[in-house]
Amino acid sequence: MAITALMLETTLPAERSKAKAAPARMDEESFRAFYERTARQVWAYLVRLTGDSHAADDLLQEAFFRFYRAGTHYESESHRRNSLFRIATNLARDHGRRQRRGIDVPLPEDMQSRDARHDQRTDLARALSRLKPLQREILWLAYAQGSSHVEIAEIVGLSSKSIKSLLFRARRKLAELLRA
């Protein structure tokens, strides 16, 4: 009986470590397909966060490089996507800190010659640029990317309850800015 218990004790940790083994690395074809499915969404997100399409290009490449270099890729598409968005979010935050400036939103030269729809987009872009970076991030993830509260929480590193509250406040602040 003692030998059986000893055998169980010695084999159990090995079995546990097999169960907790790191996910397999994506092969080149799987990575390429993942890139094609997600690159445009991540790029749009980075453009919104940085306000600069050229910076977004660079950050996109860096995000995918870091994602691939990490080596462990989850079996679930949503886990891979959230991990990539988390990397992109951190890179955009670092970029913003290095720039030490707000997002510049280009305004059309002649507002009267533009249609009302363009005016609304400009107003929205201006209002978004006046939000805090975290508010812009979670609004973009929720409404442009269609991410759930849980996914947003995973990407920005907060709890899903915090995200619900932050989204409410961000929507309220955005509405105030649009009314002003």
65: pLDDT strictly greater than 60 = yes
Q: Give the pLDDT confidence score for residue 162 in this predicted structure.
A: 94
> Greater confidence, 70 or 116?
70
- On whether residue 31 sits in a domain, the answer given is yes
Regarding whether 100 and 31 lie in a shared domain, the answer is yes
Query: pLDDT tens digits for 100-152?
Result: 554 454 545 554 555 555 566 677 788 888 889 899 999 989 988 888 999 99
Regarding whether 119 and 82 lie in a shared domain, the answer is no
> Greater confidence, 50 or 2?
50
Give the structural domain span for 156: 113-180
Question: What average pLDDT does the segment 62-67 reach?
Answer: 92
**pTM over cut 0.85:** no
Single out the residue in 63, 84, 104 at which a domain terminates.
104
Residue 98, domain CATH? 1.10.1740.10
In percent, how much of the chain has pLDDT > 90? 36
Residue 137, domain CATH? 1.10.10.10
Q: Give the pLDDT confidence score for residue 111 in this predicted structure.
A: 47
69: pLDDT strictly greater than 80 = yes
- On whether residue 81 sits in a domain, the answer given is yes
Q: Give the pLDDT confidence score for residue 17 in this predicted structure.
A: 46
Query: pLDDT tens digits for 100-109?
Result: 554 454 545 5
Q: Give the pLDDT confidence score for residue 23 in this predicted structure.
A: 54
* CA distance linking residue 150 with residue 171, whole number of Å: 18
44: pLDDT strictly greater than 50 = yes
Q: Give the pLDDT confidence score for residue 7 in this predicted structure.
A: 45
Regarding whether 118 and 98 lie in a shared domain, the answer is no
Determine which of 85-89, 116-120, 130-134, 171-175 has the lowest per-residue pLDDT on average. Answer: 116-120
Q: Total domain count for the chain? A: 2
